Structure 1
């Protein structure tokens, strides 16, 4: 298991919201996509961190690794893993 921190949230024109969680070294990521409607209906909030199986992780583009590492470390320092964000 790996702990990942929320580093990016993107909205698109198809009413989908993408959440990107990354490791604090910025090398691994997990992307989740939810419809805005489903997100509003969820009883569980989006949290600052998630735990994921390492087999489910994807590598981060080398051009994004530094930014993801900085963001993941910042979120980890300022939030508890279960904090709604």
Structure 2
């Protein structure tokens, strides 16, 4: 499965959602390419209990905003989860 969407961006899939230990109300979202080799990290501060912004199954991001996944175990985990998300969800599905 190709991770390229078009010349403007790369499709990445949600592979991890964690809450920051350092800051209250900060959610860290990690999206990765289906091969698990590149990732995009997005931090979201929840401004109130009624903050209802959707998290989608996938994003299209500029290739320059992707980091490399150097750890082989993490790369495999990201690839497995990104592939599962791509199989089970449309990119715009709320997760």
TM-score by length of 2: 0.80
Residues 1-58 of structure 1, C-alpha deviations (whole Å, 9 max, x = no match): 110000000002312100000000000000000112269535x511000000101100
Which residue of 77, 81, 85 corresponds with 1:71?
A: 81
- SS at 1:67's partner residue? helix
Higher relative contact order, structure no. (Cα contacts within 8 Å, ≥ 6 residues apart): 1
Q: Runs of 4+ in structure 1 displaced over 4 angstroms?
A: none
Secondary structure of the residue aligned to 1:64 is: helix
Question: Which of structures 1 and 2 has the bigger CA Rg?
Answer: 2
Tell me the TM-score normalised to structure 1 length.
Answer: 0.89
Question: Which consecutive unaligned segments of at least 5 residues does structure 1 have?
Answer: none
Q: Paired residue for 2:5?
A: none
Return the structure number with greater helix share.
1
| Count of residues in Structure 1 that have an aligned counterpart in Structure 2 | 84
In the superposition, relative to structure 1, how do residues 61 and 37 fare at CA in structure 2: closer, same or farther (>3 Å)? farther
Unaligned runs of 5+ in 2: 1-8
The RMSD of aligned alpha carbons is 1.7
